[in-house]
A and B are shown apart, each in its own frame.
Chain A
Amino acid sequence: MPLWRYTDTLEWEVNMDKVNIKINGIPLEVPAGITILEAAKMAHIDIPTLCFLKEINEIGACRICVVEVKGARSLVASCVYPVSDGMEIRTDSPKILASRKKTLELILSDHDRKCLSCVRSGHCELQKLCKDLGIDDETIYAGERNHYEPDDSSPHMVRDNNKCILCRRCSAVCDHVQGIGVIGANERGFKTNIGCAFDMDLGETSCVSCGQCIAVCPTGALYEKDYTNEVFAAINDPDKYVIVQTAPAVRAALGEAFGLPIGTNVQGKMVAALRRLGFDKVFDTDFAADLTIMEEAHELIDRLQSGGTLPLITSCSPGWIKFCEHYYPDLLDNLSSCKSPQQMFGAVTKTYYAKKMGLDPKNIVMVSVMPCTAKKFEITRDHQNAAGVPDVDIAITTRELARMIERVGINFLALPDEEFDDPLGRSTGAAVIFGATGGVMEAALRTAVETLTGEELPDPVFSEVRGTAGIKTATYNVAGMDINVAVASGLGNARKLLDEIKEGNSPYHFIEIMACPGGCVNGGGQPQQPASVRNSVDIRALRAKALYDQDTAMKIRKSHENPAVRQLYEEFLEAPGSHVAHEILHTSYVKRAVNPY
């Protein structure tokens, strides 16, 4: 029973049923039907949890959160057990503390405990629990161990089951949130392990590389493939001209790796750090985001006016693209042919910019910093080599950038704010909001509406497509025509819109789809937040706010008003949708099978 809900007549209805319970002797009046975990929070008690991930993984499996309920036959998992009137609960008796400790000791007995070399050391949820629960002998239940070969078959990540604690958060997010389910429990009992069906390697399956599994993993069992050494090598190679571009969502989250509150915009410090790391030029992916809007708005208007395939669906999320290729290959014609901003940026750098600067594209190393793990897959795609060399050479995640900064000893928090380099560091408010779900839609609308009506927008804000809801829809009357738009984030939500298209029932002209729930700010490559934070704080909304605030503060808020973009068209691309633009900035897609079938 939820605490509150929106009724059919659009009124707020609060659950007025209350029950009286006692927690650790403290009497409490709480809403009926909530869990003991939630009730305890109201008494300022944070019962430790491990497998619990609100609304995604509520299975009571790990048994860390057990509590005593008077009259119950055994201890109960507080994360799923509902309160009832008169219930008496103890959360801290010696028996409970001893039980939780034993549970942890048993987990540790089959865990690769090499913390010192683990990428999660220092921010691992298992480590923290060991400290909180007072583990004093991690070998007390030593016995048989499972030994697994790490799976590094896919371009974006490694799965190391030796560090897996079988919380099932990864398979829950892949199954229930993303609607894919390539990973799940194999075998049973002590031999249970998370893997793909028929023991396939992850790279052989229809995993889309979204990295949501990594985002919710509490330990070092899942992690992105690390390319920091390759980036350092490029920077230190005197023959290479190393250029870095940063996605909008990175600046909204990088600060978390250095202890700053969630939602702090650290653009200035990020640029300063990148410069000190030794990149030859520090550019902004946002520039290419504006470029993407130019091309995509043109594409949309073209399809609207000449009966092209509708709805048009955005194509900047490589996790979404791979998902479409595997699961909805018949809808590939709906996709925009535009490359993603990351890829457009690389293409422009190695053609236009290289020529301008007299550089040989073969000597340019294009590095992107992304909130995304699928970008590591995207750079391996075909038809992403405008200059005959890969548009982007190395894609690293926000997490890898944070590690690089720490490794060389840059005091991030003390850095001054610096500006991106020109010209490919110039962008608009429309570009920076790409990182939030609905941002691409809003940016495209700003340009498309002004182009279609020929008039300036009184207010560039399209609030209907903002917010963290999984699916958002709106209708805008533009130049006498009703344009229906939809925005989906999280692939499970995307399925709903796509099934409509498949059945011929879709009322939309333009759809934005992002693989990650909430958009790129919640990408698989962002700094990880533990379940304790995810369960109580909307990190997507907080990080997105940083981007929307930056948009509000910027002078230029529409992509077509970006002077650097204008210059690019004048000097090189001619016009949106031109032959040159198609050569450089557009790509193609491929049908993929669903594995395992």
Chain B
Amino acid sequence: MYRSHVLVCGGSGCTSAGAPKILEVLNKEIAKAGIKNEVSVVETGCHGLCDYGPIVVVYPGPTFYSKVRPEDIPEIVNEHLVNGQVVSRLVHNAEITDEGIKSINETDFYKKQYRIALRNCGIINPENIEEYIATGGYEALGRVLTQYTPEQVIQIIIDSELRGRGGGGFPTGIKWKLARANDADQKYVCCNADEGDPGAFMDRSVLEGDPHVVLEAMTIAGYAIGASQGYIYIRAEYPLAIERLNKAIAQAREYGLLGKDIFGTGFNFDIELRLGAGAFVCGEETALMTSIEGNRGEPRPRPPFPAQKGLFQKPTLLNNVETYANIPQIILNGPEWFSSMGTEKSKGTKVFALGGKIRNTGLVEIPMGTTLREVVEDIGGGIPNNKKFKAAQTGGPSGGCIPASKYDIPIDYDNLVGIGSMMGSGGLIVMDEDNCMVDIAKFFLEFTVDESCGKCTPCRVGTKRLYEILDKITKGNGTMEDLDKLEELCVYIKENALCGLGQSAPNPVLSTLRYFRDEYIAHVKDKKCPAAVCKALLSYVIDPNACRGCTLCARSCPNNAISGKVKEAHVIDQDKCVKCGVCKEKCRFGAILIR
């Protein structure tokens, strides 16, 4: 019987910040202090407060330590675990108020969150099925198999109004219903764990922090649609998630919760993993299925839809990891519980990966309808360095930007589509006045061009040409005709591409053109980048009033572009300057400016 539990966050951010070392030192120090039998150390999934990792949470309390370093551990062990004294300098600063230390759940970051998909992340040891069961795991499956018919299960999901969390937002219950409606000797349930959006790690956190929730949900789905085999298509770049899933599958099989005769009801359902191989396009439904079949991951025309002819030409259901993560709770708490949260057409919560110019980067799960302002300023802690909010990009390379004028927009599927963006899988990147929107569009398009499968002309060649025009603009060679060409090509690609990747590739461009056209025009007409990002349009100049003539810059310049006499103001020859920035770095008087 342990008197204390120490939870160490093993999420992606904390792991790369040094969590493994923390665990090692923690175990050593606890053994040294002779309290190994009193204190349990658990590695958990992601807590979400990634900017403040490594995170260590001590129960009872809980006490939430952030930015912990290995050299802090002896103090935590000896002061807190042995002597019972909280180490206040390590407590997460947001908790510290004039009235004392408040609960972590009261901090702005967590106050407005409601964790359904991330329920177990940060709490349980994902490698122990008993901890999953202890928090109510597999109870939903048990109830489904013994008390509900498949049709009843489907109706519960329909009534919950859950919509696909992978980006498409298709009503999940309807998808299940369609898959059930098609008869075949074999049906399949697939899970899309390819998570390709750059910077997205929502699904990764669920898979690493709570793998059983996906297994349980897929089994429930198998029962509902009449399938006996499931496949999780997971990107090979998530080796820890793969390892955790394999362990979870083995444990579930051992406990009779997966495989043959589940819960002794005679229902058979098994799950296997299939690994991706570095293609974003394999996150597209039909490309994913053809990849599992062993073919080159290229999308197929629809119809026929996977519900009729999917994997191996059999009726197949495909849902995203996060969609599945909601299923067991909906079964247990009932559909009304879920549909009571959110907006009129978007129910429940959504996990977002907050990134960019924001204090609290990390993972958050918020009810639909939370405004962008709340996400950025309350939950996100606002924009650092006194900068102003410019835009937020949602939906990654398939999405668009939300400008400051829409700061109070309640986040839900239809609102975002209405302003030219989309929810996507949950990436939310915040931008301030130092971001160039043309450069942002170019960044996303570069990704899309690289990930295009190459099957259809509009995407294969069209996005490439689109990128080339953007590149031209950022280099100061764009014309007003190029802007028209850009827009025309965007619309054409949207309307003609074969799959979602191509159809949504122009979104970042169209969206930034819509809300930041003046920035494009500045690049084209004035040959200037207002945010001072596009290198080719920048000039490094020496302020003659600040320059002391120390000659340090001239001596540092790799191209001999700076001239001047000692103690006299120096001058940069713009023709020779390659904008490497070394001079600005070296100048001790702040005399070198970027225009």
* Residues of A near any B CB (own CB < 8 A): 59-63, 66, 73-75, 77, 80-82, 95, 98-99, 102-103, 106-107, 109-110, 141, 143-144, 166, 168, 184-185, 187-192
Q: Is B555 an interface residue (CB 8 A)?
A: no
Whether the Cβ atoms of A184 and B296 lie closer than 8 Å is yes
Whether the Cβ atoms of A189 and B450 lie closer than 8 Å is yes
Q: Is B200 an interface residue (CB 8 A)?
A: no
- Contacts A63-B456, A80-B301 known; list 16 others, CB within 8 Å: A59-B300, A66-B496, A74-B497, A77-B301, A77-B498, A81-B301, A82-B303, A99-B495, A99-B496, A102-B458, A106-B458, A106-B465, A188-B281, A189-B454, A189-B460, A190-B460
Closest partner residue, chain B, to A141 (CB atom):
B465
Q: Is B387 an interface residue (CB 8 A)?
A: no
A81 to B456, CA, bound (A): 16
For chain B, what secondary structure do more than half of its interface residues adopt (helix, strand, loop), or is it mixed? helix
Closest partner residue, chain B, to A107 (CB atom):
B457
A190 to B452, CA, bound (A): 8
A185 to B452, CA, bound (A): 13
> Of A184, A190, A192, which is in contact with the most chain B CB atoms at under 10 Å from its CB?
A190
The 4 A-B pairs of least Cβ separation, nearest first, read: A192-B454, A189-B452, A60-B301, A106-B461
Among B281, B300, B492, the residue within 8 A (CB) of A99 is: B492
Whether the Cβ atoms of A141 and B461 lie closer than 8 Å is yes
Whether the Cβ atoms of A61 and B465 lie closer than 8 Å is no
Whether the Cβ atoms of B454 and A187 lie closer than 8 Å is yes
Closest partner residue, chain B, to A79 (CB atom):
B301
- Which residues from chain A contact B498 at a C-beta distance below 8 Å? 60-61, 63, 77
Smallest CB–CB gap between A69 and chain B, Å?
A: 11
- Which residues from chain B contact A143 at a C-beta distance below 8 Å? 464-465, 468
* A-contact bits for B432-467, CB 8 A (1 contact / 0 none): 000000000000000001111111111011101100
Whether the Cβ atoms of B468 and A144 lie closer than 8 Å is yes
Among B303, B453, B456, B503, the residue within 8 A (CB) of A188 is: B453
Ordered by A's residue number, 19 sampled pairs between the chains whose C-beta atoms are within 8 Å are: A59-B455, A61-B456, A61-B457, A61-B498, A63-B458, A74-B496, A77-B498, A102-B496, A106-B457, A107-B457, A143-B464, A144-B468, A166-B454, A185-B298, A187-B454, A188-B281, A188-B454, A189-B450, A189-B464
A228 to B226, CA, bound (A): 64
Q: Is B279 an interface residue (CB 8 A)?
A: yes
* Residues of B near any A CB (own CB < 8 A): 279, 281, 296, 298, 300-301, 303, 449-458, 460-462, 464-465, 468, 489, 492, 494-498, 503
Contact (A144, B464) CB under 8 Å given A188-B452, A188-B453: yes
Smallest CB–CB gap between B139 and chain A, Å?
A: 40
Contact (A81, B495) CB under 8 Å given A62-B457, A103-B457: no
Whether the Cβ atoms of B451 and A189 lie closer than 8 Å is yes
A63 to B461, CA, bound (A): 12
Whether the Cβ atoms of A166 and B460 lie closer than 8 Å is yes
- Which residues from chain B contact A62 at a C-beta distance below 8 Å? 456-457
- Which residues from chain A contact B452 at a C-beta distance below 8 Å? 188-190
Contact (A189, B453) CB under 8 Å given A60-B498, A143-B468: yes
A103 to B450, CA, bound (A): 20
Whether the Cβ atoms of B496 and A192 lie closer than 8 Å is no
- Which residues from chain B contact A103 at a C-beta distance below 8 Å? 457-458, 496
Whether the Cβ atoms of B464 and A190 lie closer than 8 Å is yes
Whether the Cβ atoms of A106 and B468 lie closer than 8 Å is no
A107 to B498, CA, bound (A): 15
A82 to B305, CA, bound (A): 12
> Of B452, B457, B498, which is in contact with the most chain A CB atoms at under 10 Å from its CB?
B457
Instruction: Give how many A-B residue pairs fall within 8 Å (CB-CB).
Output: 98
Smallest CB–CB gap between A143 and chain B, Å?
A: 5
- Which residues from chain B contact A106 at a C-beta distance below 8 Å? 457-458, 461-462, 465
- Which residues from chain A contact B503 at a C-beta distance below 8 Å? 73-74
- Which residues from chain B contact A187 at a C-beta distance below 8 Å? 454
Smallest CB–CB gap between A77 and chain B, Å?
A: 6
Closest partner residue, chain A, to B452 (CB atom):
A189
- Which residues from chain B contact A61 at a C-beta distance below 8 Å? 455-457, 498
- Which residues from chain A contact B468 at a C-beta distance below 8 Å? 143-144
A82 to B304, CA, bound (A): 9
A80 to B304, CA, bound (A): 9
Smallest CB–CB gap between A129 and chain B, Å?
A: 12
Smallest CB–CB gap between B357 and chain A, Å?
A: 30
Smallest CB–CB gap between B394 and chain A, Å?
A: 20
- Which residues from chain B contact A189 at a C-beta distance below 8 Å? 449-454, 460, 464
Whether the Cβ atoms of B464 and A75 lie closer than 8 Å is no
- Which residues from chain B contact A98 at a C-beta distance below 8 Å? 492
Closest partner residue, chain B, to A104 (CB atom):
B457
Whether the Cβ atoms of B496 and A59 lie closer than 8 Å is no
Contact (A109, B496) CB under 8 Å given A188-B454, A189-B452, A192-B454: no
A107 to B465, CA, bound (A): 11
A244 to B465, CA, bound (A): 52
- Which residues from chain B contact A60 at a C-beta distance below 8 Å? 301, 456, 498
Closest partner residue, chain A, to B298 (CB atom):
A185
Closest partner residue, chain B, to A111 (CB atom):
B461
- Which residues from chain A contact B281 at a C-beta distance below 8 Å? 188
Contact (A63, B457) CB under 8 Å given A74-B503, A81-B301, A184-B296: yes
A9 to B502, CA, bound (A): 47
- Which residues from chain A contact B492 at a C-beta distance below 8 Å? 98-99, 102
Smallest CB–CB gap between B261 and chain A, Å?
A: 36
A403 to B449, CA, bound (A): 42
Smallest CB–CB gap between B296 and chain A, Å?
A: 6
Whether the Cβ atoms of A63 and B303 lie closer than 8 Å is no
Contact (A74, B495) CB under 8 Å given A144-B468, A189-B449: yes
A103 to B493, CA, bound (A): 9
Smallest CB–CB gap between A67 and chain B, Å?
A: 11
Closest partner residue, chain A, to B448 (CB atom):
A189
- Which residues from chain A contact B494 at a C-beta distance below 8 Å? 74
A192 to B457, CA, bound (A): 11
- Which residues from chain A contact B496 at a C-beta distance below 8 Å? 63, 66, 74-75, 99, 102-103
- Which residues from chain A contact B296 at a C-beta distance below 8 Å? 184-185
> Of B281, B462, B496, B498, which is in contact with the most chain A CB atoms at under 10 Å from its CB?
B496
- Which residues from chain A contact B464 at a C-beta distance below 8 Å? 143-144, 189-190
A171 to B460, CA, bound (A): 18
Smallest CB–CB gap between A407 and chain B, Å?
A: 35
Among B453, B461, B497, the residue within 8 A (CB) of A110 is: B461
Whether the Cβ atoms of B449 and A190 lie closer than 8 Å is yes
- Which residues from chain B contact A95 at a C-beta distance below 8 Å? 495
Smallest CB–CB gap between B466 and chain A, Å?
A: 10
Smallest CB–CB gap between B291 and chain A, Å?
A: 13
> Of B451, B455, B492, which is in contact with the most chain A CB atoms at under 10 Å from its CB?
B455
A62 to B498, CA, bound (A): 9
A192 to B454, CA, bound (A): 6
- Which residues from chain B contact A74 at a C-beta distance below 8 Å? 494-497, 503
A81 to B453, CA, bound (A): 21
Whether the Cβ atoms of A185 and B495 lie closer than 8 Å is no
A144 to B460, CA, bound (A): 12
- Which residues from chain B contact A188 at a C-beta distance below 8 Å? 279, 281, 451-454
A187 to B297, CA, bound (A): 11
Among B301, B303, B454, B458, the residue within 8 A (CB) of A190 is: B454
Smallest CB–CB gap between B390 and chain A, Å?
A: 30
A166 to B461, CA, bound (A): 11
- Which residues from chain B contact A102 at a C-beta distance below 8 Å? 458, 462, 489, 492, 496
- Which residues from chain A contact B451 at a C-beta distance below 8 Å? 188-189
- Which residues from chain B contact A192 at a C-beta distance below 8 Å? 453-455, 460
Smallest CB–CB gap between B135 and chain A, Å?
A: 41
Closest partner residue, chain A, to B489 (CB atom):
A102
Smallest CB–CB gap between A1 and chain B, Å?
A: 11
A73 to B303, CA, bound (A): 13
A74 to B302, CA, bound (A): 12
A166 to B455, CA, bound (A): 8
Smallest CB–CB gap between A149 and chain B, Å?
A: 20
A190 to B303, CA, bound (A): 26
A184 to B301, CA, bound (A): 19
